[in-house]
Structures are given as structure tokens and as C-alpha cells.
Amino acid sequence: MSDLLLRRARLVPVGPGAAVPPGPVDVRVVDGRVREVGEGLRAEGLPEVAADGRWLVPGLWDQHVHLGQWALAAQRLDLTTTRSRQEVLDQVAERLDAVAGLPVVGWGHRPATWSEPPTTQVLDELAGDRAVVLIAGDGHHAWLNRVAMRALSLAEREGMVSEGEWFATYPRLVRLVGTDGTSPEAYLHVMREAAARGVTGLVDLEFDQSFSAWPARVEAGAALLRVRVGAYVDTLDEFSAAGMQTGQPLPECGDLVTMGPLKIISDGSLNTRTAWCCREYAGGGHGAANISASGLHWALDHARRSNLDVAVHAIGDAAVWQALDAFEATGVRGSVEHAQLVRREDSRRMAQLGVRASVQPAHLIDDRLLTETIWPDRTERCFALRWFVDDGVEVVLGSDAPVAPLDPWLAIAAAVHRGAPDEDAWHPEQHLSVAEALAASTDGRGTVAVGDVADLALLDTDPLPAGDPVEQAKVLRAVRSDATWVAGDLVHSAL
């Protein structure tokens, strides 16, 4: 923890009714906490940093990240901009030519709206004896050729590998590429990128992760930011054996890396039409639950007895409803992750139960067209941020990186505008104000004040811009941090 005196920073009002001084102030940090805020503070031997009128906010948090997959995404074939099967095949062909003899692993395509289906046969014909694994943008399914299926011990089939089978297969990708790509150096690289956006904390919900991997990362310097490490039911025994409880530092990891929630995936995804819904999709089917009601109740009760918070993935409204039943029955603390489709009565129920809505607003940009196609009768209650806030639900924002980029300003802009830069707002009645979206991105912290932990971001732009939502979102997407501190330690600087 470092000490410093920050000269002439403009405080940003965070949260309802927040007030700030009309002009720049000095901020004294001692032992990793804000000790004094005022004008003309004496340095008293502290190192000084010239803010020069920049805007100071609490450090931002991304409340839903898959850090290992985000680190890997930078090393994979980027298919996020493809809009058809042929576009994907063209990019795969280019990569096959460019990396002779090596397998191709891609990320980011979204096949649900394609006119031609992703078939095993076309990949077989394109790649020959080279393995190809293309992970869809929602992370819930993958398109493989038969060479890759055999290498990953999968039964050969004509079609996707999805949901539970894919989640179980994913860790075996190391067989193809020779490394899992998640070295401490890779983690440190993505944390530095996050710090440049003013991020000081992450909730890491990586699949199949072991807390025993974190001491090596910390020793190598990869604990740049605060990280809450999540567990899954199939990895819970290791965490439980060590007596880990939510909020407790992981062994040999210092103060920054702590135990996070138990993550449970209770239904599927929109792109696979496996998100569990109360009414049928256009074309039929309701999706499906990934866990029975009794199994969900058992898991949540086990978490409660182990002093663990719970993060329940629930995209469809039936899954949200089932999750809230389990929260009510067990009294455990936690969140509904995604909460993409909700009924108004369940929004109100979340408020009554004290269950957080952990939402990734940038997903609405990617899912808009598909939602209009397969949920045409319920689009007005997708990403119902306005309902949540009005009903008194605590809302926290994230990215689900690599499903969306690890960029809180993109999430804030999407919550405010509810559209891509060149699109009209999609159900603008469900938007948040900039102030509300910013408050949902600071892990419950308000305006920088005496006594706060010195997790701080000094921004190059006013994060509460004037104008209509379209103009505001344009400004927000470009916001970056000129300096970021964690417990008073400088983790990023462009000063």
C-alpha cells in the first residue's frame, strides 16, 4: 500500500443525491485509504500527483468475468464480426494457411441467425486432417470438425457440442494447443488492459478453476487488481476442504485475491435456444433447466451452510423464477447472473429477497436481432434494467468477458443507450441514467470520501456527460483512465 497526495481532482457524484465540491480538490491517501479530502492540503512529505482537473471516481468493477477465457481470447481467431457461415469459413481458411500444421481455435461467431447451419461436414472438407474448434460467442457451444472431436474424446456427430457436454470438454482443449494459454503473464496482460479502463476489481467465474493456481499467479505479479474467485459445484470440494468462505483471502495470495461466490449454471443460452422459458420460443420449445429444483435447493443450502454467496446463471424467465424459489427457500445471499428475461413480478421478488441482478448490458447489442426473432412476444422485458432499479433491486454490471469485452464503459454505454452506436435504442424505456449505470459499476461505493479504500481511477473525460442517451453513450465508450490505483498502489498510468 502506497501513500500519495493527489492534487486538484474533480470528484464525481456517484449514486442518488450525491453531492461534490464545485471545483477541484486535493485527496490524501495514507496506508491504502483516503484520509483527507479538501483544498490546498499540505504535502507533508507525500509524493504528489497532478490531477490537473481530471475526474476522480472509485475504481470500477466487472462483476462477471471468465479471466482464463478472456486471456485466451486474445490468442484465438476472432470471429466476433462474422455474420454468416461463409464468413467464418473464409476466416478459418486464412488461418489454416497462415499457421501450417497447427490446430485452429476460434471464438465469437453467433450462428443462430445464419441462413446456413454450421455443419461438421463443411469443416471436415475445409480443414482435412487439421483440428478446428470454433467456440460460439455465448460460450455455451462449439462447432468442431471430426479430427477435433476425436482429439477431445468426443463421440463424432453432425452438429454442435453444447451446454454440459461442452463445459466438460473445454478444459481438454490443452490437448490440442499444448498449453492452456493462461500463464501468470497472460493474466497480468489482461489485468493491465482492464486497469487502463479504470478497473480495480473483477469477479472471476472461470470454469474448472482451482484456487491452488492463484498463489503462483500472485507470486508472478498477476494479482494486479482485486479478484473474487468463484467456484463451481464440481470444483467446490477443493475450496470447501480449505475452509474457504466468501470474502476470505485465498491462502498465500495476500489481501487482493479473495473467495467469491459459488457459481451455478441453471439454464442454457439464447443462441442455443436452451435458456429456460415460461412460454415457447417462436418455432417451439421452452429450453431446459440444467439442474433440478431439488438439486438447486441443495446447492444453495450447502453454500449457505458454508458461508458462500451464490451466483446463479439464469437467462430465461423460468430459470429466474426457479432460482428465486431456491433463494427464498434457503435464505442464501447472492445474485441472478444475466437475468436476461424476467417477469415484472420476479423483479419485485428479487428486491424483496435482496437478490442482486448481475447484468451484462453489452449483450443486448449482440442479442437484439436474435431476440426479436425467437422471443418476438417478450422483447420489452429483456435486460429490464429500469424495472430492477425502480423495484429496488441492487444492480451490478459486468461483461461476461470474453462474451463481451472487459470494458465497463462499453457496459455503461449499453445500459444508457440500449443500442450499438449506429442503432436506435432498443426498448429505451428500460434504460438507466448515466449516474445509475456508473453507480452499478463501483461495487457499491459512492463518491470518493474519507475512509474509503484507495481504489481509484482518474479519468480523462467527465463520466457524467450531458446530452441525450445517444450522445452520452458516444462519450462513454471512449472513456479511459489516466491513472488507476489499488489500495493506493499505482497499477496504471498515462500521466
- Residue type at position 363: H
Lowest mean per-residue pLDDT among 17-31, 128-142, 428-442: 128-142
Residue 160 pLDDT greater than 70, yes or no:
yes
Return the percentage of the chain with pLDDT > 90, whole number.
72
Q: Take residue 396 and report the three cell numbers written for it.
A: 451490478
Q: Is the pLDDT of residue 176 over 80?
A: no
Q: Average of pLDDT values for 263-272?
A: 94
d(CA 309, CA 282): 35
Q: Mean pLDDT throughout 352-379? A: 96
Is the predicted pLDDT of residue 471 greater than 80, yes or no? yes
Side-chain-facing half-sphere of 17: CA atoms under 13 Å: 0
Task: Report the range out of 138-147, 172-181, 295-304 with the highest average pLDDT.
Answer: 295-304
pLDDT, tens only, 314-336: 999 999 999 999 999 999 999 99
Q: Using the predicted structure, report yes or no on whether residue 146 has a pLDDT greater than 80.
A: yes
DSSP letter string over 458-477?
A: EESS-SS--S-HHHHHHHHH
Q: Do residues 110 and 128 touch, judged by C-beta distance below 8 A? A: no
Q: Write down the number of H helices and E strands in the chain.
A: 17, 21
Q: What is the pLDDT of residue 181?
A: 65
How high does pLDDT run on average in the chain?
A: 93
